[in-house]
Copies of this chain bind each other. A is one copy, B any other.
Amino acid sequence: MNESPVSGTSPEVLESHRKYIGQLEKECPVRAAINVLRGRWKPSILCEIAKGPQRYSEMRKALPQVSAQTMTVQLRELEADGLITREVYAEVPSRVEYQLTPLAESLSEVMVELEAWGERYLTERAQSPSEKPD
């Protein structure tokens, strides 16, 4: 319709913002790691693929809360981040398989620690009465 989409933000500003974020990540690997896992479904998706190579449709069945669009986006991002590989088989009903890279496998070990901490966090939060119980 119109050449400048919704807002008037120029491409240069967006570009410099991307560089800015990139710079922040270089200075803070923790933030970089968190950004990789930040998508709401990425831990679950990685968890599923960790069980073995998974097809798109299998994952949709395993995670029915995730819409097709979101699933695709998250998979693409994980792929761009080097955590999963995407293999297309030239078969009649087309078939695509995702699997973890070694980089993602090393992340799995950290996720185990993260899970242990998460359990402690959930326990303590459930005990403290003055906090927001959600």
Contacts and interface: CB of A to CB of B under 8 A. Distances in A.
Interface of A: 18-19, 21-22, 24-26, 28-34, 36-38, 40, 43-44, 47, 65, 80-82, 103, 106-107, 109-111, 113-122, 124-125, 128, 131-132, 134
**Would you call the interface of chain A mostly helix, strand, loop, or mixed?**
helix
How many copies, total? 2
B121 A32 contact: yes
Given A28-B43, A28-B44, A33 B117 contact: yes
Contact of A34 (B34, B82, B103): B34
A122 B44 contact: no
Contact of A33 (B82, B109, B114): B114
